């Protein structure tokens, strides 16, 4: 197609701009005719608000699905996953099978969670069953560990009580004050005695049918202080929260490696300490959770032809494009490069009429994580995957990635 892509962004990050310039795309302002807009989640909210009613043309593409918050707002993600499980249960899907204790066998991948203040009484009921448990409170609309704290006594969250006038007032007058409270996972896998999480990038190009890609070069983010479940350290966020935004303020934060490990290093470490099979099964499980989380929101209308999105496991709509180390800069530059190669094949003006299935050699460091169309053409929908012995992305390459399947290996 003739003509160069006209781009605009409201995120002034060199990893983005260098990528646009390398393609010799033309910078324009948001009021001009544009083809590619890499926008912040605040902008997407404004641009696609009911009042603005903006509609993308066939030659325009943006980097978020308009309803991305269905997956990335903590309360909505929980609501969608709960609803998805109930729907599968009603359909009699084998995926919704439960064990003798009434726990989902394949879909039990989010810790017990309640919304506060709305579910306060339900939470209290659950808390009383096991009063020695620890819970984690997170503001629904925030990220980067902001506003998160741990509790182990009901008195610590009295103000979220449904009956408390203050809480009702606060929640009603400001949506920001709503929280989710989740059972705290107090026996995490530790490396060097420290807790870590995974930042994995997933690119979604369509929700219906679901087509998503997984970036091979994710990383682990480590805490700077050794883990202890001791209640005396409950307030020490350097022990409990793995977010770089938190850890970088710690005395022991290392500015050279930024407390990060590549996923391939993690894999090697786990293979040597726990064995190949269990490591493979762990990665299979991670991929399974990703696909299931996306399926859970695919029914909430997050689909649109001319958008794509990079998301993460835990789940975040706008993963930081700030580079905290030299390796970070390279990773993020390549991530954007590979993303653009998939969503704008050959660097050409997007045309939503083409089918977005780039050849394997154009995927760079991405691998197909799940391709619903392919799975359907092979007569394997998600319900059948349980019994498939197909290749899993984690263990032996992609083979289309349609074979992501539930696994039940226990990790410990
Ligand atoms: N249920 C849990 N049990 C144990 N640790 C948890 C739990 N939930 C969250 N954490 C810890 O808290 C950190 C922050 O949680 P979460 O990622 O949900 O919040 P966030 O503020 O949205 O962070 P981000 O912006 O990185 O997505 C996690 O990286 C993890 O280390």
Kindly report the CATH number assigned to the domain that includes residue 175.
3.30.1490.20
State the Cα–Cα distance between residues 332 and 320, nearest whole angstrom: 9
**206 CB near ligand 1 (under 6 Å):** no
pLDDT attached to residue 408:
40
| 124 and 143 housed in the same domain | yes
The structure tokens 């099964």 sit at 281
Nearest to 65 by CA among 238, 217, 208: 208
pLDDT attached to residue 68:
76
CA of 202 to the centre of ligand 1 (A): 18
**What is the tens place of the pLDDT at every residue in 211-263?**
999 999 999 999 999 999 999 999 999 999 999 999 999 999 998 888 899 99
**405 CB near ligand 1 (under 6 Å):** no
Label residue 27 by pLDDT band (50, 70, 90): very high
CATH of the domain at 233: 3.30.470.20
8 Å CB contact between 371 and 254: no
Label residue 193 by pLDDT band (50, 70, 90): very high
Average pLDDT score over residue span 327-351: 87
Whether residue 12 is predicted with pLDDT greater than 50 in this model: the reply is: yes
**What is the tens place of the pLDDT at every residue in 131-160?**
999 999 999 888 889 999 999 999 999 887
Label residue 401 by pLDDT band (50, 70, 90): very low
| 261 and 206 housed in the same domain | yes
State the Cα–Cα distance between residues 86 and 134, nearest whole angstrom: 27
State the Cα–Cα distance between residues 203 and 68, nearest whole angstrom: 13
8 Å CB contact between 340 and 19: yes
End residue of a domain, out of 140, 159, 184: 184
CA of 145 to the centre of ligand 1 (A): 6
What does pTM read for this prediction? 0.83
State the Cα–Cα distance between residues 343 and 61, nearest whole angstrom: 9
Number of separate helices (H) and strands (E) present in the chain:
14, 16
Average pLDDT score over residue span 4-16: 92
Alpha helices (H) along 180-299? 237-240, 244-247, 263-274, 276-298
pLDDT attached to residue 313:
39
Element (H, E) at 170: helix 165-173
CA of 147, closest atom in ligand 1: 21
**What is the tens place of the pLDDT at every residue in 59-112?**
898 988 877 778 778 888 899 999 999 999 999 999 999 999 999 999 999 999
Query: Is 247 or 403 the better-scoring residue by pLDDT?
Result: 247
Q: What are phi and psi of 135, to 5 degrees?
A: -125, 155
Whether residue 23 is predicted with pLDDT greater than 50 in this model: the reply is: yes
**239 CB near ligand 1 (under 6 Å):** no
State the Cα–Cα distance between residues 336 and 57, nearest whole angstrom: 23
Please choose from 180, 240, 314, 321 the residue to mutate so as to test ligand 1's pocket, defined by most ligand atoms within 8 A of CB: 314
ipTM of this predicted complex?
A: 0.97
Between the CA of residue 375 and those of 211, 372, 379, 386, 405, what are the distances in Å?
A: 10, 5, 6, 13, 12
Please choose from 74, 145, 194, 289 the residue to mutate so as to test ligand 1's pocket, defined by most ligand atoms within 8 A of CB: 145
pLDDT attached to residue 304:
53
State the Cα–Cα distance between residues 251 and 236, nearest whole angstrom: 13
CA of 240 to the centre of ligand 1 (A): 9
| 81 and 125 housed in the same domain | no
Query: Is 8 or 172 the better-scoring residue by pLDDT?
Result: 8
| 151 and 251 housed in the same domain | no
| 281 and 387 housed in the same domain | yes
| 365 and 297 housed in the same domain | yes
pLDDT attached to residue 389:
33
Whether residue 295 is predicted with pLDDT greater than 60 in this model: the reply is: yes
| 150 and 240 housed in the same domain | no
| 163 and 294 housed in the same domain | no
For the chain, how many structural domains are there in total? Answer: 2
| 322 and 283 housed in the same domain | yes
Atom 22 in ligand 1: residue holding the nearest Cα: 143
Q: Pairing between strand 113-116 and 61-62? A: unpaired
CA of 358 to the centre of ligand 1 (A): 34
Residue 307 DSSP code: B
| 61 and 85 housed in the same domain | yes
End residue of a domain, out of 128, 159, 184: 184
End residue of a domain, out of 184, 215, 234: 184
Average pLDDT score over residue span 345-361: 74
> How high does pLDDT run on average in the chain?
83
CA of 160 to the centre of ligand 1 (A): 20
Is the alpha carbon torsion for 53, 57, 58, 59 positive or negative? negative
| 93 and 29 housed in the same domain | yes
Which domain covers residue 172, as residue numbers? 112-184
**What is the tens place of the pLDDT at every residue in 297-316?**
886 655 455 556 654 334 55
**316 CB near ligand 1 (under 6 Å):** yes
| 207 and 249 housed in the same domain | yes
């Amino acid at each position: 197609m003739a003509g160069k892509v006209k781009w605009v962004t409201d995120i002034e990050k060199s990893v983005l701009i260098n990528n646009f310039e390398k393609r010799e795309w033309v910078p324009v302002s948001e009021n001009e005719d544009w083809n590619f807009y890499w926008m912040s989640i605040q902008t997407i909210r404004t641009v696609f608000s009911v009042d603005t009613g903006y509609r993308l043309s066939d030659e325009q593409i943006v980097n978020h699905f308009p309803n991305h918050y269905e997956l990335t707002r903590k309360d909505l993600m929980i609501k969608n996953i709960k609803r998805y499980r109930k729907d599968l249960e009603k359909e009699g899907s084998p995926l919704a099978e439960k064990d003798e204790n009434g726990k989902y066998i394949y879909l039990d991948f989010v810790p017990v969670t309640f919304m506060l203040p709305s579910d306060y009484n339900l939470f209290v009921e659950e808390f009383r069953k096991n009063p020695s448990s620890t819970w984690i409170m997170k503001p629904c609309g925030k990220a980067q560990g902001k506003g998160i704290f741990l509790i182990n006594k009901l008195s610590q969250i009295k103000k979220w009580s449904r009956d408390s006038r203050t809480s009702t007032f606060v929640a009603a007058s400001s949506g920001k004050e709503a929280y989710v409270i989740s059972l705290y996972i107090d026996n995490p896998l530790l490396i060097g005695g420290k807790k870590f999480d995974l930042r994995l990038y997933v690119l979604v190009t369509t929700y219906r049918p679901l087509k998503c890609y997984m970036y091979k070069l994710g990383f682990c983010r480590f805490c700077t202080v050794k883990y202890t479940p001791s209640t005396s350290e409950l307030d020490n966020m350097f022990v409990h929260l793995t977010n770089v935004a938190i850890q970088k303020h710690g005395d022991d934060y290392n500015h050279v490696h930024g407390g990060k490990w590549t996923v391939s290093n993690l894999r090697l470490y786990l293979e040597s300490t726990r064995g190949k099979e269990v490591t493979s099964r762990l990665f299979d499980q991670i991929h399974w959770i990703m696909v299931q989380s996306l399926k859970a929101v695919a029914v909430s209308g997050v689909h649109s032809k001319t958008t794509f999105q990079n998301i993460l496991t835990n789940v975040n709509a706008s993963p930081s494009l700030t580079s905290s180390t030299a390796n970070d800069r390279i990773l993020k530059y390549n991530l954007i490069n590979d993303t653009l190669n998939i969503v704008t094949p050959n660097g050409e003006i997007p045309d939503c009429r083409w089918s977005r299935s780039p050849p394997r050699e154009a995927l760079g460091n991405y691998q197909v994580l799940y391709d619903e169309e392919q799975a359907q053409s092979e007569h394997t929908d998600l319900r059948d995957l349980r019994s498939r012995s197909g290749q899993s992305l984690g263990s032996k390459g992609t083979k289309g990635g349609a074979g992501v399947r539930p696994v039940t290996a226990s990790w410990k």
